[in-house]
Amino acid sequence: MRVRLSLPEKDDLTIGVEEEFVLADPVTGAVSLAAPRMLELLDGEPAVMPEFLRFQIETATGIHTGLDEIRAELLGLRGLVADAASRVGCLVLASGTPPCGDLPGLPGVTGEPRYHELAARFPALVRDAGTCACHVHVGIPSPALGVRILAGLRPWLAPLLAISANSPIADGADSGWATRRYPLWSRWPTAQPPLDWPDTAAYTASIEDAVRRGEAIDAHAVYFYARLSPKHPTVEIRIADVGLTAEDAVLLAGLIRALVVTILAEARAGLTPRPVRTSLINASLTAAAHNGYSGRGIDPFTGEALAQHLMVDRLLEYLRPALRASGDLATIDRRLTAVRAGLTGAARQRALFAEAASPAAFVAELASATLAGTGRPGHPSPPPAPHPAAVHDI
């Protein structure tokens, strides 16, 4: 029998979204090391930041309570970076990996001491480190409840990854993965699912142990798929590829907040998470990354092979009360209808790649899809307001 949960109002749990983008040369389709010049043009805009490699750029929304506000700001920020990119002669691509051309490796590292320290510690990982994610932050009442939320998130990471997969094309060819970003990113020593930590002390000990063992240069570089933010009172879910469109990011943000709301309500009702083996979580993530939404998945609760879309359906059923309480159910249903129709980022990328006559034509189509809904090109929207509380974690 389902326990009736007391769900918080959506205004109680804020959301913020970070998006990372690839910069590409419109003539060759290869990456463009243009981020430093773009940042100079943007003249200290706090919502736009450098990333590890100079062909990446990152945006961070402010703190919001509604999906409409998140959507509006995501569109504004995509337009803002696209305008700056056009002024330095490159394109902005929302893709989990650079799709075409050779990668620069160490010469492409952004000129900040922290990034050079990271490159010196993990030189073998630098060439393929330019992956681009969507990170969703959800405000939490306390670190203790945040650790409980991380435990509850564990079995649902795979359907989130399957929905968001958006990097099938890498090195100018179909990689065979719905998200090539996932296996590349997972090479980092701390890129792994959160554990079922009993309390905040155990969580903190895991972070400190990773740094002490040399697996990360500091707490910010501990890359759990979901973690407590080192800077903000949030849980940060990092499993997803950057969405091809802003609507993809809105879908992800809505689902993740509903997950946090549901797990928090269960914790307050005295319910404990159903035990899940980490080995099965990893197997479910690999299946989701390789096969995507339309392929076979693995149930992390049982190890059973099943269609991935059934796991997504189970996720939606689990979240339906929270989505209804927040007023987000219609938005999420509408976006999932598009996913069920085959309009995932991975499927759209593959279709564009199959139709493109050249790498340049392909990245042009990706750039156009990235800007869907922004009014670019033609009628640029005004830049968003300053963001004194942008939720950026390096």
Domain ranges of the chain: 12-370
Amino acid code (one letter) for 138: V
Helices (H), the chain: 35-42, 67-87, 113-121, 143-153, 157-164, 181-185, 200-212, 246-268, 278-291, 308-326, 329-340, 345-355, 359-370
Task: Say whether pLDDT at 391 is over 90.
Answer: no
Q: Which of 84, 15, 3 is nearest to 48 (CA)?
A: 84
pLDDT for 5: 66
pTM of the model: 0.93
pLDDT for 278: 97
Which CATH class, in words, describes the domain spanning 12-370? alpha beta
> Phi-psi region for residue 214, left (φ > 0), alpha (ψ -120 to 50) or beta?
left
Q: Which of 82, 60, 89 is nearest to 375 (CA)?
A: 82
pLDDT for 387: 38
Q: Report, as an integer, the average pLDDT of 87-116.
A: 96
pLDDT for 376: 80
Q: Report, as an integer, the average pLDDT of 221-245.
A: 97
